[in-house]
């Protein structure tokens, strides 16, 4: 972790030294932006430009779809897998071997720091995944060597080899069948990087730049980054799907909460990501604005540190759950834009257990349980992210409501606000009590929720905030991967959900709609349930998009 932390600190320094001299924040709202691009306002902390090394947040939700492409994509309307850099694929050996046939004539971006001499081919695919899975790979340990999503899935153990069969054919061999494998490669955590760029950086002894000065095949390229202020993306004029309609996009990081809403109302922002549900009436009533709402593949939840007494006692966890008024959270946080969660899986998932029951609100029963256990004067620390996210627009307010609920049953809670990777670092110290968090994925496979959040391996990869390891549960997750039959997988996943209901390592709170507000003249935005889609088709109606 120390190496990663040092790299995080240096990222901001490099951002202002590797690019042009720092510009004032007002640069994001200059007339030039209005004429040749749009401003996308979102809160978040940037730790890396490489989504392989991110666990969630800005890099995955917003930047990945602009900078990079993947082998496969997910249709935001049908939830089906689609070709992207792989134009076709074959499933062999009952799901233990996957062969991909790559698209030809896909150029990498030409940036100020790299000019490619060839198009994307099998070498790039092998490099991108070998870096993650092979600990002996020369780039594996660069910038910390942590790949949280794939580590939580134990991909380093399950992927036996990634081989180039020819320039446009790549084959993955797994140690056992894995019915979820294609879905994981379709997430934004699986971008295709340039092997040629990596070779150049190796010769220059500048390997660390691969995650700071990114090179992908996506519709936009990094142009400028000002720590905590904005990220400017420039159009990739050689984009293989066609030239993006806007020459540039500015991602404004400089304001939170009502500040971002004010920027949208005054026209300083064209798009507001994740507006607070409490702001919906303002957004709906303003004729200059449009609002998009879609179901989301996400869940907000409260994680208990199950390795720390008295939270290692399931009855204590149940007593806490009984004390939380989930219906009040729905009314005060989501304003009708979420469903109460009865499972860690959203209701949109094909494996959702329709018999799952939302934990009842019964503070009297909570007090009685604690009294029976002889437990009193409990005092917990509740770690809470400060930034709004797709699964929870107001984490701090949610924490305050939980704090008030628990006080009613005699449990004192101290709220500890944390940001980004610092939250994960604190969690790894193992001395936290409760964590308010959530998960959003760009995969429709239940494995994308269960293994990253609750498997034994996910403790080490820092995505299992409950530090809960249950071997029967892990065995079920493995069993579900062995069959290509949907009915069999559904049955196994419902057994897994029964274990979670009994053991309660986490308390599911809500599955939220995805919200996005934007100015009336912005067209072509696609809001996906799986994460932000490409901005390549976005244009301003007044000029029908800037011409390339």
69-145+160-194 CATH fold: Dipeptide-binding Protein; domain 1 (3.90.76)
Domain locations in the chain? Answer: 1-68+218-288+520-548, 69-145+160-194, 298-513
Q: Which of 233-237, 259-263, 389-393, 515-519 has the highest mean pLDDT?
A: 233-237
Sheet of 97-102, strands arranged across: 86-92, 97-102, 169-174, 159-166
pLDDT confidence band for 29 (50 / 70 / 90)? very low
Pairwise CA distance, residues 516 & 86, whole Å: 30
344 closest CA partner among 462, 126, 507: 507
The pLDDT tens digits of the residues spanning 478-497 come to 999 998 888 999 999 999 99
Q: What is the model's pTM? A: 0.80
The residues, any chain, with a CB within 8 Å of residue 535's CB and separated by 6 or more, are 40, 65, 66, 219, 220, 233, 244, 246, 249, 525
**What pLDDT, on the 0 to 100 scale, is given for residue 543?**
53
More confident position, 345 or 9 = 345
Give 54-86 pLDDT, tens digit per residue.
Answer: 877 789 889 999 999 999 998 877 778 999 999
Percent of the chain residues past pLDDT 90, beyond the cut: 66
Q: How far is CA 139 from CA 89, 128, 253, 326, in A?
A: 27, 10, 30, 45
CATH topology of domain 1-68+218-288+520-548: D-Maltodextrin-Binding Protein; domain 2 (3.40.190)
Q: Which helix (H) or strand (E) holds 336?
A: none
CA distance 460 to 471: 15
Beta pairing class for 527-528 and 81-83: unpaired
Q: Partners of 306 in the beta sheet?
A: none
C-alpha distances (whole Å) from 214 to each of 190, 195, 209, 445, 487 are 14, 12, 8, 29, 41
Rounded to an integer, the average pLDDT of 307-325 is 97
Tokens of 104: 């030809």
Q: Give the pLDDT score at 207.
A: 97
Query: Topology of domain 298-513, per CATH?
Result: Dipeptide-binding Protein; domain 3 (3.10.105)
Q: How far is CA 99 from CA 17, 96, 301, 442, 456, in A?
A: 42, 10, 37, 22, 29
For residues 227-244, give the mean pLDDT.
96
Q: How confident is the model at residue 50 (pLDDT cuts 50, 70, 90)?
A: very high
What are the tens digits of pLDDT across the range 256-304? 656 888 999 999 999 998 888 788 889 989 999 999 888 788 999 999 9
């Amino acid at each position: 972790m120390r190496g990663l932390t040092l790299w995080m600190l240096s990222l901001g320094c490099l951002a202002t030294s590797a690019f042009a001299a720092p510009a004032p924040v007002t640069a994001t709202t200059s007339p030039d932006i209005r004429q040749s691009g749009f401003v996308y306002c979102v809160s978040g902390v940037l730790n890396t430009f490489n989504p392989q090394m991110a666990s969630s947040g800005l890099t995955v939700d917003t930047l990945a779809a602009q900078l990079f492409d993947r082998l496969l994509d997910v249709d935001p309307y049908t939830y089906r897998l689609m070709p992207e850099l792989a134009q076709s694929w074959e499933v062999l050996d009952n799901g233990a071997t996957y062969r991909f046939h790559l698209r030809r004539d896909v150029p990498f971006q030409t940036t100020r720091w790299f000019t490619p001499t060839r198009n994307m081919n099998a070498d790039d695919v092998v490099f991108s995944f070998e870096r993650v899975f092979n600990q002996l790979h020369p780039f594996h340990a660069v910038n910390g060597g942590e790949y949280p999503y794939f580590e939580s899935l134990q991909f380093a153990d399950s992927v036996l080899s990634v081989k180039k069969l020819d320039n446009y054919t790549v084959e993955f061999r797994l140690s056992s069948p894995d019915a979820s494998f294609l879905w994981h490669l379709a997430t934004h955590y699986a971008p295709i990087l340039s092997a040629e760029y990596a070779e150049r950086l190796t010769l220059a002894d500048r390997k660390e730049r691969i995650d700071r000065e990114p090179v992908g095949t996506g519709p936009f390229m990094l142009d400028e980054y000002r720590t905590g202020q904005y990220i400017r993306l420039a159009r990739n004029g050689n984009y293989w799907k066609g030239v993006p309609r806007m020459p540039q996009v500015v991602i404004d990081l400089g304001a939170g909460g009502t500040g971002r809403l004010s920027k949208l109302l005054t026209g300083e922002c064209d798009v507001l990501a994740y507006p607070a549900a409490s702001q919906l009436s303002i957004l709906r009533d303003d004729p200059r604005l449009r609002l998009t709402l879609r179901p989301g593949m996400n869940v907000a939840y409260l994680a208990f540190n199950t390795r720390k007494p008295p939270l290692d006692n399931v009855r204590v966890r149940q007593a806490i759950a009984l004390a939380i008024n989930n219906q009040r959270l729905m009314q005060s946080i989501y304003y009708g834009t979420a469903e109460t969660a009865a499972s860690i899986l959203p209701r949109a998932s094909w494996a959702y257990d329709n018999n799952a029951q939302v934990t009842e609100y019964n503070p009297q029963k909570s007090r009685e349980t604690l009294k029976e256990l002889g437990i009193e004067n409990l005092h917990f620390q509740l770690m809470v992210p400060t930034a709004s996210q797709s699964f929870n627009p107001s984490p701090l307010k949610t924490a305050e409501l939980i704090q008030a609920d628990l006080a009613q049953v005699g449990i004192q809670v101290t709220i500890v606000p944390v940001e980004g990777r610092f939250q994960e670092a604190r969690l790894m110290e193992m001395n936290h009590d409760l964590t308010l968090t959530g998960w959003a994925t760009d995969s429709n496979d239940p494995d994308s929720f269960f293994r990253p959040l609750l498997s034994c391996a996910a403790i080490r990869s820092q995505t299992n905030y409950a530090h809960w390891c249950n071997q029967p549960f892990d065995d079920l997750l493995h069993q579900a991967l062995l069959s290509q039959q949907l009915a069999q997988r559904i049955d196994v996943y419902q057994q897994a959900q029964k274990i979670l209901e009994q053991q309660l390592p986490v308390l599911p709170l809500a599955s939220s709609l995805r919200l996005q507000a934007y100015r009336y003249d912005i067209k072509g935005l696609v809001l996906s349930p799986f994460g932000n889609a490409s901005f390549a088709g976005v244009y301003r109606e007044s000029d029908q998009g800037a011409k390339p």
